[in-house]
Amino acid sequence: MLQLDSGNVLLKPSHKRQLMSWLRRALRLGQKLGDLMISITMHRVGRHYEVHAKVRDKAGKFQCRSRRQEWRHALHEIARTLGSRLHDQRLGRATA
């Protein structure tokens, strides 16, 4: 399950679809692990966008954060990090 809290950032439906396409790999890996819950929160802080992701699944839980000047870059970095960390969990490796 994916929960998106955009905070004080206005996202159009096309932006949400783009985010879902970026998260497709992470969601597929999480589905294989089982009991996946991803919570993403976005906030604009000054000129930057700060994105936090909290992930919980059967293999464990972790958090990641990104702060960039554009929301697209921050969300894209989070999506890549989530895919990488879930892949490591799927392989059974401990990541720091």
CB under 8 Å to 22, separation ≥6 — which residues? 75, 76, 79
CATH superfamily of 2-91: Ribosome hibernation promotion factor-like (3.30.160.100)
Rounded Cα–Cα distance for residues 84 and 62 (Å): 12
pLDDT value of position 96: 52
Query: How many Cβ atoms sit within 10 Å of the Cβ of residue 11?
Result: 14
pLDDT value of position 75: 93
pLDDT value of position 95: 55
| 10-residue mean pLDDT series, the chain (96 residues) | 89 93 91 90 94 92 94 94 91 65
pTM for the whole structure: 0.85
